[in-house]
């Protein structure tokens, strides 16, 4: 009499090859097939030489290793050693300790990491640090220390243009670009100019009022 536990397992005495064996063979075969399909492409990629990269016009070859770099930030020269892939946002915050430049979305969608790049507001999370080596960078700390922007800062305070304040640095930097143009704008124009900056608290009305009033007092140009 055969008891349940005496029943032969798959692949043992029942004439079948067994699920475990079949699975191993299947995976082994799949792996070999994958290797065959991948190897030609990998060989092609690995065969790209450095000469091919150097012949590309308009590109500056930095290599893969960390590079010593001098950045002009807030009127001072800072020498740092950075990886070519490091963003300007990362270097400002973690190498130079300028944490006023906020790391929020890191996709260029919120404006919280805005800095002035040769007088224009850009999102530092979308810029490589090595791209900034011949440019003048001003962060919100530099704006706060610059007497030219005192009317702008005072206007933000007078109009209570902040709630939690996390986005304020980005708005101030973007407003500073407008301030440098030296001309006044209507409030609707200001709102359009600031549309790339987001405020989760919804303080847009007071921010627009603050910037409009500051521009009416006269820009820094």
CA angle, corner 47, sides to 46 and 50, nearest 5?
A: 95
pLDDT tens per residue across span 12-64:
455 444 445 565 565 555 554 444 444 443 333 333 334 433 444 555 556 67
What's the pLDDT score for residue 41?
39
pLDDT digit string, tens, across residues 82-131: 999 999 999 999 999 999 999 999 999 999 999 999 999 999 999 999 99
Per DSSP, the residues of 131-192 read GGTTSEEE-HHHHHH-GGGHHHHHHHHHTT--SS-TTHHHHHHHHHHHHHHT----HHHHHH
Instruction: Evaluate whether residue 7 is within a structural domain.
Output: no
pLDDT per position as a tens digit, 149-194: 999 999 999 999 999 999 999 999 999 999 999 989 999 999 999 9
Same domain assignment for residues 85 and 148: yes
| In-domain check, residue 6 | no
1 located within any domain: no
Confidence at residue 16, expressed as pLDDT on a 0 to 100 scale = 47
Checking if the pLDDT of 220 tops 90, the result is no
Tokens 């206007």 belong to 155
CATH number at residue 147: 3.10.20.30
Q: What is the pLDDT of residues 145-161, one digit of tens each?
A: 999 999 999 999 999 99
pLDDT value of residue 22: 63
- Strands 136-138 and 76-82 come out as unpaired
Same domain, 110 and 175: yes
Phi-psi label, residue 117: left if phi above 0, alpha if psi -120 to 50, beta otherwise = beta
Q: For residue 218, what pLDDT is reported? A: 78
Residue 170 domain flag: yes
- 137 and 195 share one domain: yes
What pTM, to 2 d.p., does this model score?
Answer: 0.71
Q: Is residue 59 part of a domain?
A: no
Q: Is 199 exposed, middle or buried (0-12, 13-18, 19+ CB in 10 A)?
A: buried
Average the pLDDT over 70-78 and give the result.
Answer: 97
**What is the reported pLDDT for 50?**
41
* 24 and 89 in a common domain: no
182 and 214 inside one domain: yes
- Whether residue 4 is contained in a domain is answered as no
Distance of CA 75 to the CA centre of its chain: 23
**Predicted local confidence at residue 54, as pLDDT:** 45
Range of the domain at 37: 16-51
The span from the CA of 181 to the CA of 118, in Å, is 13
Residue from 102, 104, 199, 101 nearest 156 by CA: 199
**Is 218 within the bounds of a domain?**
yes
CA-nearest of 161, 155, 117 to 139 is: 117
144 in Cβ contact with 174 (< 8 Å)? no
């Amino acid at each position: 009499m055969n008891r349940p536990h005496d029943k032969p397992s798959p692949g043992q005495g029942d004439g079948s090859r067994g699920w475990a064996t079949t699975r191993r063979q299947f995976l082994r075969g799949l792996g070999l097939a994958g290797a065959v399909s991948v190897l030609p492409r990998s060989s092609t990629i690995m065969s790209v030489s450095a000469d091919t990269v150097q012949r590309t016009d308009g590109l500056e070859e930095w290599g893969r290793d960390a590079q010593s770099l001098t950045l002009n930030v807030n009127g001072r020269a800072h020498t740092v050693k950075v990886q070519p892939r490091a963003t300007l946002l990362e270097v400002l915050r973690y190498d130079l300790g300028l944490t006023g430049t906020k790391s929020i979305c890191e996709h260029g969608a919120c404006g919280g990491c805005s800095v002035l790049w040769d007088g224009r507001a850009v999102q530092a999370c979308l810029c490589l640090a090595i791209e900034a080596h011949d440019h003048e960078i001003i962060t919100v700390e530099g704006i706060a220390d610059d007497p030219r922007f005192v009317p702008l800062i005072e206007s933000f305070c007078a109009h209570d243009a902040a709630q939690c304040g996390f986005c304020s640095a980005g708005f101030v930097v973007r407003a500073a670009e407008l301030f440098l143009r030296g001309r006044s704008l209507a409030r609707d124009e200001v709102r359009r100019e600031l549309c790339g900056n987001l405020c989760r608290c919804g303080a847009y009305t007071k921010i627009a009022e603050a910037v409009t009033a500051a521009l009416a007092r006269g820009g820094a140009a």
